[in-house]
């Protein structure tokens, strides 16, 4: 069973932007996956307005907020639709079944390609071995499993966001 959802982030450094990223949780392992390439990003009203001579009216700001609200609604509707989730799961399953001829070299390649540090690479390898799934899907599971062990929430989210790129990189490297 797959539970679809999304992650909402908001700029904390004054950039005035937020993002909505699709996220799925797989019931079997309870690991989370985020689809970062489908992220929706928008600048909200509290953010910086275009600089220049023009002073934006309240009407313009209201219409901007209406547009952002409409885009957000569309993104949420898409990310939670059965069609979107089924297409993502299907693509994931196709790549996940790819058997790995040299798993250690594949993990080395994946972590190097995705700029994952040596300590985390070693943890991913340990999770991969414990998982016993010698496929590209096993690499993805090892990444999400490792992310769950990190105490820093930002680091865990960043590693989790690399799970699908790790899957595609492992499947391509084989």
Shared domain check, 71 and 33: yes
CB-CB contact of 168 with 113 (8 Å): no
Shared domain check, 122 and 42: no
Shared domain check, 78 and 109: no
Shared domain check, 7 and 87: yes
Going by C-alpha positions, the residue among 29, 28, 34 that lies closest to residue 5 is 34
Main-chain phi, psi angles of 52, to 5 degrees: 150, -160
Shared domain check, 84 and 31: yes
Shared domain check, 129 and 61: no
Q: State the DSSP string of 29-57.
A: T--EEE-GGG-EEEE-TTSPPPPSS----
Which residue bears the tokens 């990189």? Answer: 169
pLDDT digits (tens, 9 = 90+) for 42-90: 665 554 555 566 777 889 888 888 888 898 899 889 888 889 888 888 8
Tally of domains in the chain: 2
Q: Which of 46, 66, 91 is the last residue of a domain?
A: 91
145: domain range? 97-173
Q: Which residue has the higher pLDDT, 28 or 141?
A: 141
pLDDT digits (tens, 9 = 90+) for 149-173: 999 998 998 898 898 899 999 999 8
Shared domain check, 14 and 79: yes
Shared domain check, 87 and 31: yes
pLDDT, mean of residues 109-132: 94
pLDDT digits (tens, 9 = 90+) for 88-112: 888 888 898 999 999 999 999 999 9
The reported pLDDT for the residue numbered 130 is 93
Q: Which of 36, 71, 91 is the last residue of a domain?
A: 91
Distances (CA, A) of 85 to 1, 49, 55, 82, 128: 11, 35, 43, 5, 25
Percentage helix, strand, coil for the chain under 3-state DSSP, each rounded to 5? 55, 15, 30
Shared domain check, 141 and 79: no
């Amino acid at each position: 069973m797959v539970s679809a959802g999304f992650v909402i982030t908001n700029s904390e450094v004054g950039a005035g932007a937020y993002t909505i990223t699709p996220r799925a949780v797989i019931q079997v392992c309870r690991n989370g996956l985020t689809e970062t390439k489908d992220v929706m990003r928008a600048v909200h009203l509290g953010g910086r307005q275009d600089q220049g001579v023009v002073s934006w009216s309240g009407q313009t700001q209201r219409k901007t907020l209406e547009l952002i609200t409409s885009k957000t609604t569309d993104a949420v509707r898409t990310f939670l639709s059965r069609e979107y989730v089924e297409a993502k799961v299907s693509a994931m399953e196709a790549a996940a079944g790819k058997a790995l001829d040299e798993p250690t070299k594949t993990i080395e390649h994946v972590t190097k390609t995705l700029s994952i540090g040596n300590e985390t690479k070693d943890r991913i390898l340990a999770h991969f071995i414990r998982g016993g799934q010698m496929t590209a899907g096993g690499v993805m599971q090892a990444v999400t499993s490792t992310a769950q062990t990190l105490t820093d929430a930002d680091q865990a989210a960043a590693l989790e966001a690399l799970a699908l790129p790790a899957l595609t990189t492992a499947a391509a490297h084989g």
